[in-house]
């Protein structure tokens, strides 16, 4: 009975492969294996986990960040920002695609929701790039890669879920992923610029009337007025968290209130808009919290039934220790990201990984940052890339799955380059937290 828990994972993946929802699969496996080990006492364990998740203050930020994303979709801020960015980039090779990545970076830093970022950016950028005959592969890769930045650029909901499970401060993890996230966005921009210069037929320069060629003063005014609202949100939300002035939940509440005010000022706030935003927030939040609860129960049962001891014993028997065990965990994370959503991967892998990471003498913060980048790469990687399914929902039929699969591949290499840089130069992940918090 001591190693009973080792069979929980094969059972879980079997249920998922059969098509059962992830949350209910984890709950069902936990209930069965917990009953085999503890009898009806498993009910008390599950109730205690419900109380634990329900009273987790940090998780309270999740619905507020989702509400921010929902309101920003309707406020008109995204459209104005896209136009302002395009003023500066349209004369560059691949200017529309470059503007899309810049826009995605700013929007990701405003909302923290990957799906919302990709949806909003895609709806704005796809028609414009198709109009100027951009390569459909480049369109697909740009939209998917830009949307994926929502998982790695703070404030990210995946970080909010990961931090308490990994026993890391949210502020430290936010500051840790900031530089790698910006480096990755820089790689995306560099790739688009190089490929558009080398093969201009992939991204023809956009034609425009001389009347549209604004003076420098007009450009600066348009940019300032378009940038001010999202920059204000970034300062209020992310700045207050990094400075230690507010918890993530408090900052998210201020951000949601700010989004509401912006929507009112833009004349977009109606009862129907607010109702739609609230219902969307409720649905997504319920899904995430259900998965978090199921993952918390699954982890507790896995530990208590000897699953962790069995895992460590297997690794030791095969001589997989230290760096090799970390590499194996990251490989499993990448593979799991093909078939599971990001939060499910976090809840399954992190409780197992962190004890091994600490036992290997590896900095948990550095590992968490690398883990997030690898998880983001899985988010983008075919055949089960969630980013592609988001794109499929908003793209016209002329952009096929073949275009999407081929389009994301170069950007996956850019993500791999980011992982390599963080491994070679750990300070990319640890320097800013040390400066801000001394850890």
DSSP letter assigned to residue 206: P
**C-beta atoms surrounding 359 within 10 Å:** 12
Considering only the C-alpha atoms of the chain, give the largest distance between any 2 of them, rounded to a whole number of Å.
Answer: 77
Instruction: Tell me: pLDDT of 439 over 70.
Output: no
- Split at pLDDT 50, 70, 90, the class of 274 is confident
Please choose, from the candidates 413, 379, 307, 351, the residue with its C-alpha nearest in 3D space to the C-alpha of residue 152.
379
| Averaged pLDDT, 64-75 | 76
Residue with the bigger pLDDT between 233 and 171: it is: 171
**C-beta atoms surrounding 279 within 10 Å:** 11
Please choose, from the candidates 349, 295, 284, the residue with its C-alpha nearest in 3D space to the C-alpha of residue 26.
295
Instruction: Tell me: pLDDT of 388 over 50.
Output: yes
Handedness of CA 257, 226, 248, 296 (dihedral sign): positive
- Split at pLDDT 50, 70, 90, the class of 1 is very low
Handedness of CA 393, 397, 399, 401 (dihedral sign): positive
Could you tell me how many helices (H) and strands (E) the chain has, helices first? 21, 0
Residue 156 in any domain: the answer is: yes
Residue 214's pLDDT is 63
Tokens of 306: 């000897």
**Region of residue 322 (phi > 0: left; psi between -120 and 50: alpha; otherwise: beta):** left
| Averaged pLDDT, 36-63 | 81
Instruction: Tell me: pLDDT of 243 over 70.
Output: yes
Residue with the bigger pLDDT between 15 and 305: it is: 15
| Averaged pLDDT, 362-383 | 87
- Split at pLDDT 50, 70, 90, the class of 300 is confident
Tokens of 38: 């503890």
- What mean pLDDT, rounded, does the chain reach? 81
**Burial label, 61 (beta-carbon count in 10 A; 0-12, 13-18, 19+):** buried
CB contact set of 283 (below 8 Å; sequence gap of 6+): none
Residue 90's pLDDT is 73
Residue 217 in any domain: the answer is: yes
Residue 183 in any domain: the answer is: yes
Q: Long-range contacts of range 122-126, CB-CB < 8 Å, 24 or more positions apart?
A: 122/147, 122/390, 122/391, 122/394, 122/395, 123/394, 124/78, 124/79, 124/82, 125/82, 125/96, 125/97, 125/99, 125/100, 126/394, 126/395, 126/396, 126/399
Instruction: Tell me: pLDDT of 414 over 90.
Output: yes
Q: In which domain, by residue range, is 281 found?
A: 57-294+384-437
Please choose, from the candidates 368, 395, 12, the residue with its C-alpha nearest in 3D space to the C-alpha of residue 164.
368
Tokens of 17: 């492969």
**C-beta atoms surrounding 272 within 10 Å:** 9
CA angle 189, 193, 198 (to 5 degrees): 150
| Averaged pLDDT, 274-285 | 83
Residue 184's pLDDT is 94
Instruction: Tell me: pLDDT of 21 over 50.
Output: yes
Residue 362 in any domain: the answer is: no
Residue 191 in any domain: the answer is: yes
| Averaged pLDDT, 354-358 | 84
| Averaged pLDDT, 382-394 | 74
Residue 209, classed as helix, strand or coil, is coil
Q: What is the pTM assigned to this prediction?
A: 0.79
Please choose, from the candidates 356, 372, 351, 364, the residue with its C-alpha nearest in 3D space to the C-alpha of residue 294.
351
Residue with the bigger pLDDT between 379 and 405: it is: 405
| Averaged pLDDT, 200-222 | 69
Instruction: Tell me: pLDDT of 56 over 80.
Output: no
**C-beta of residue 141 within 8 angstroms of C-beta of residue 401:** no
Poorest-pLDDT segment among 227-231, 247-251, 326-330:
227-231
Q: How many angstroms separate the CA atoms of 367 and 316, rounded? A: 21
Tally of residues, the chain? 439
Residue 424's pLDDT is 93
Instruction: Tell me: pLDDT of 346 over 70.
Output: yes
Q: What is the Cα 59 distance to its own chain's centre? A: 16
Residue 5 in any domain: the answer is: no
**C-beta of residue 369 within 8 angstroms of C-beta of residue 173:** yes
Residue with the bigger pLDDT between 117 and 163: it is: 163
DSSP letter assigned to residue 176: H
- Split at pLDDT 50, 70, 90, the class of 203 is confident
Residue 211's pLDDT is 45
| Averaged pLDDT, 371-395 | 80
Residue with the bigger pLDDT between 94 and 184: it is: 184
Residue 403 in any domain: the answer is: yes
Residue 69 in any domain: the answer is: yes
Instruction: Tell me: pLDDT of 213 over 70.
Output: no
Q: How many angstroms separate the CA atoms of 186 and 267, rounded? A: 35
The most confident of the ranges 109-113, 199-203, 223-227, 407-411 is 407-411
- Split at pLDDT 50, 70, 90, the class of 370 is very high
* Cα Rg, the chain, nearest whole Å: 22
- Quote the number of domains for the chain: 1
Instruction: Tell me: pLDDT of 168 over 70.
Output: yes
Residue 412's pLDDT is 92
Residue 315's pLDDT is 66
Buried b (16+ CB within 10 A) or exposed e, 382-415: eeebbbbebbeeebeeebeeebbbbbbebbbebb
Q: How many angstroms separate the CA atoms of 26 and 41, rounded? A: 18
């Amino acid at each position: 009975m001591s190693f009973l828990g080792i069979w929980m994972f094969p059972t879980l993946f079997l249920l998922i492969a059969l098509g059962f929802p992830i949350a209910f699969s984890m709950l069902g496996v936990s209930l069965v294996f917990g009953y085999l080990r503890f009898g009806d006492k498993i009910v008390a364990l599950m109730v205690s986990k419900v109380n634990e998740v329900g009273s987790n203050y940090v998780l309270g930020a999740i619905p507020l960040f989702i509400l921010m994303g929902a309101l920003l979709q309707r406020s008109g801020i995204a459209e104005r920002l896209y136009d302002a960015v395009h003023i500066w980039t349209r004369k560059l090779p691949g200017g529309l695609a470059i503007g899309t990545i810049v826009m995605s970076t700013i929007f990701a830093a405003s909302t923290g929701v990957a799906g919302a970022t990709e949806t909003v950016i895609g709806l704005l950028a796809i028609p414009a790039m198709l109009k100027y005959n951009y390569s459909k592969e480049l369109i697909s890769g740009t939209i998917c890669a830009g949307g994926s930045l929502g998982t790695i650029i703070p404030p990210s909901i995946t970080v909010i879920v990961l931090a308490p499970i990994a026993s890391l401060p949210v502020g430290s993890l936010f500051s840790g992923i900031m530089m790698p996230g910006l480096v990755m966005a820089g790689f995306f921009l560099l790739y688009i610029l190089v490929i558009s210069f080398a093969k201009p037929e992939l991204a023809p320069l956009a034609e425009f009337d001389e009347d549209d060629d604004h003076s420098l003063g007009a450009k600066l005014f348009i940019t300032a007025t378009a940038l001010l609202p999202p920059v204000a949100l970034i300062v209020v939300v992310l700045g207050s968290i990094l400075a230690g002035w507010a918890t993530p939940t408090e900052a998210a509440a201020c951000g949601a209130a700010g989004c509401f005010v912006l929507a009112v000022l833009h004349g977009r706030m109606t009862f129907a808009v607010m109702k739609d935003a609230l219902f969307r927030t409720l649905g997504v939040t319920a899904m995430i919290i259900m998965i978090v609860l199921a993952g918390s129960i699954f982890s507790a049962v896995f530990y208590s039934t000897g699953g962790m001891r069995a895992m460590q014993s297997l690794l030791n028997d095969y001589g997989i220790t230290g760096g090799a065990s970390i590499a194996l965990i990251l490989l499993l994370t990448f593979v799991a990201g093909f078939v599971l959503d990001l939060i499910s991967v976090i809840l399954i892998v992190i409780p197992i990984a962190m004890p091994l990471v600490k036992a290997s003498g590896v900095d948990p913060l550095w590992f968490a940052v690398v883990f997030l980048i690898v998880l983001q790469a899985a988010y983008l990687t075919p055949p089960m890339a969630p980013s592609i399914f988001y794109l499929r929902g908003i793209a016209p039929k002329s952009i096929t799955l073949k275009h999407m699969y081929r389009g994301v591949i170069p950007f996956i290499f850019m993500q791999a380059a980011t992982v390599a840089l963080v491994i070679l130069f750990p300070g990319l992940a640890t320097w800013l937290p040390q400066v801000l918090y001394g850890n």
